[in-house]
Amino acid sequence: MPVVQIACIQCQQTESVVKNGKAKIQGIERENLNFRTRLKRLNRKTICFSRSEERV
């Protein structure tokens, strides 16, 4: 009896979509982290500026 191999094209496509989707999510999360970091730095700079103005 011959052995028949069936390639699961749908499974391969699903795996590639999951990999691509995960990469997109990682990129979005990285952008969010960068944005939060910049806001924190800006906040610290404004606090230092306001403190220096109070002392003058």
User: What are the extents of the domains in the chain?
Assistant: 20-56
pLDDT score of 6: 54
**Considering just the CA atoms, what is the radius of gyration of the chain in Å?**
26
pLDDT at 8: 59
pLDDT of residue 46: 83
The pLDDT tens digits for 1-56 are 555 555 555 555 556 666 777 888 999 999 999 999 999 999 888 887 776 656 55
Give residue 54's pLDDT: 61
pLDDT of residue 23: 85
User: CA-CA distance, 25 to 15, in Å (whole number)?
Assistant: 15
In angstroms, the CA 33 to CA 48 distance is: 23
